[in-house]
């Protein structure tokens, strides 16, 4: 166990059992489609694969994205590698043009890997603060002017918000006029409760996606990027050929199989997520917490006083794992993932309620 002053997500990842209730990790607990296992007994491919990704998988994806061919995709080790390669490739392209410290715009709160990835790639981070979990177009427009790339994540981890289509269209226009890259992280595109996903478009849009969330295949590590910017796609493939080479080919075959499952698989999963969303949202509102109702993904981000005490005490005294909002750029909040059964959500909420009531009663004014 770590130290009270140095709470990190690493302390909680993989901690389970012994009555622990984890609202921590953003990993679906539902099963992947049964079809993905069926390839295993006959699978024989053990050689290096194409660095860009297996052709059958890229072709299947090309049928889902407008105006694209298999050439517009690179299959990666999860969305994580797609984000990393895209950022470092953009930085590399800019460096060759003499731009050594380009800026990258982040919408805060952000997914907690964005800031390290942006820094590792050598970008200077610039922030636009969300208001009520939403992008403020005026602030976005003012900040994006100096940047070479912007990261958009709708539906968002950690806010659970889905941006308005007008906002996304305004972002497409501003960035296209200025020739700025958009990295649109759409890993939750199939987990939206309020409308269909809106696919951001433009000559320098890089769409990032993954089989982790939609198909509950986090450990297989299959994600991808899609872009009509051929210079960027070429640079990403070149970089990947010297770093990780091909993404696991057996995992890609399983991902390909996932693309063939009927849409009813996704619809069924969405119903489960929505029921959990309602339960946790209403439960937290009843406790008196201030939070946004999630419109997508599977997170809530309530405002909680003394969040570090809360996260620490809930873990050590009440066996409940939660993540500090500070890791996501939201220092007055705590993030809960609701990727767990309803009975666990109910029990977890009961423990939170007991703790907060006890804390309020014994607090020295």
CB-wise, 79 or 91, nearer to ligand PLP? 79
152 strand-pairing partners: 184
Residues 67-86 that bind ligand PLP (CB under 6 A): 78-80
Task: Answer yes or no whether residue 214 interacts with ligand PLP by CB under 6 A.
Answer: no
Task: Answer yes or no whether residue 160 interacts with ligand PLP by CB under 6 A.
Answer: no
Q: Which two tokens stand for residue 72?
A: 């517009």
In this structure, the strands spanning 103-108 and 73-76 are: unpaired
Closest CA to 285 of 349, 342, 351: 349
Interface residue with ligand PLP among 12, 23, 111, 315 (CB under 6 A) is: 111
Interface residue with ligand PLP among 84, 163, 172, 185 (CB under 6 A) is: 185
CB of 78 to ligand PLP, least distance (A): 3
Which residues have a Cβ under 8 Å from the Cβ of 286 and sit 6 or more positions away?
none
Contact 102, 123 (CB under 8 A): yes
Q: Which residue is nearest to ligand PLP (CB)?
A: 78
Task: Answer yes or no whether residue 252 interacts with ligand PLP by CB under 6 A.
Answer: no
331 strand-pairing partners: none
Interface residue with ligand PLP among 24, 26, 49, 53 (CB under 6 A) is: 26
How many whole angstroms separate alpha carbon 269 and alpha carbon 290? 27
Task: Answer yes or no whether residue 22 interacts with ligand PLP by CB under 6 A.
Answer: no
Residue with tokens 């950690």: 158
Interface residue with ligand PLP among 153, 154, 159, 322 (CB under 6 A) is: 153
Residues 290-329 that bind ligand PLP (CB under 6 A): none
CA angle, residues 241, 243, 249, in degrees to nearest 5: 65
Applying CB under 6 A, which residues contact ligand PLP? Answer: 26, 78-80, 111, 153, 157, 185, 187, 210, 212, 218, 223
């Amino acid at each position: 166990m770590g130290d009270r002053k140095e709470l990190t997500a690493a302390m909680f990842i993989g901690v389970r059992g012994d009555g622990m209730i984890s609202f921590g990790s953003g990993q679906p607990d539902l099963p992947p489609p049964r079809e993905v296992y069926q390839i295993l007994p006959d699978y024989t491919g053990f050689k290096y694969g194409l660095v860009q990704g297996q052709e059958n998988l890229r072709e299947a994806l090309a049928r889902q994205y407008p105006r694209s061919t298999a050439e517009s995709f690179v299959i990666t080790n999860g969305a994580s590698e797609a984000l990393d390669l895209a950022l470092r490739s953009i930085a590399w392209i800019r460096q060759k043009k003499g731009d050594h410290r380009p800026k990258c715009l982040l919408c805060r709160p952000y997914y907690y890997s964005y800031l390290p990835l942006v820094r590792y790639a050598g970008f200077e981070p610039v922030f636009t603060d969300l208001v009520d979990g939403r992008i403020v177009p005026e602030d976005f427009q003012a900040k994006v002017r100096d940047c070479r790339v912007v990261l958009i994540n709708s539906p968002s981890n950690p806010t659970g918000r889905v941006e308005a289509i007008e906002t996304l269209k305004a972002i497409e226009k501003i960035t296209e006029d200025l020739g700025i890259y958009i990295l649109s992280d759409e890993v939750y595109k199939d987990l939206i409760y309020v409308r269909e996903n809106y696919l951001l478009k433009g000559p320098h849009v890089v769409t990032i996606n993954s089989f982790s969330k939609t198909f509950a295949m986090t450990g297989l590590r299959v994600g991808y990027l899609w872009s009509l910017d051929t210079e960027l796609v070429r640079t990403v493939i070149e970089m990947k050929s010297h770093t990780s080479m091909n993404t696991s080919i057996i995992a890609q075959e399983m991902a390909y199989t996932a693309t063939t499952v009927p849409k009813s698989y996704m619809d069924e999963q969405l119903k489960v997520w929505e029921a959990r969303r309602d339960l946790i949202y209403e439960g937290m509102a009843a406790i008196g917490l201030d939070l946004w109702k999630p419109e997508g993904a599977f997170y809530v981000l309530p405002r909680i006083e003394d969040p570090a005490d809360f996260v620490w005490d809930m873990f050590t005294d009440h066996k409940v794992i939660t993540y500090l909002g500070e890791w996501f750029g939201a220092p007055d909040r705590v993030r809960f993932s609701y990727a767990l059964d309803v009975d666990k959500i109910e029990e977890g909420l009961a423990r939170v309620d007991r703790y907060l009531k006890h804390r309020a009663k014994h607090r020295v004014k």
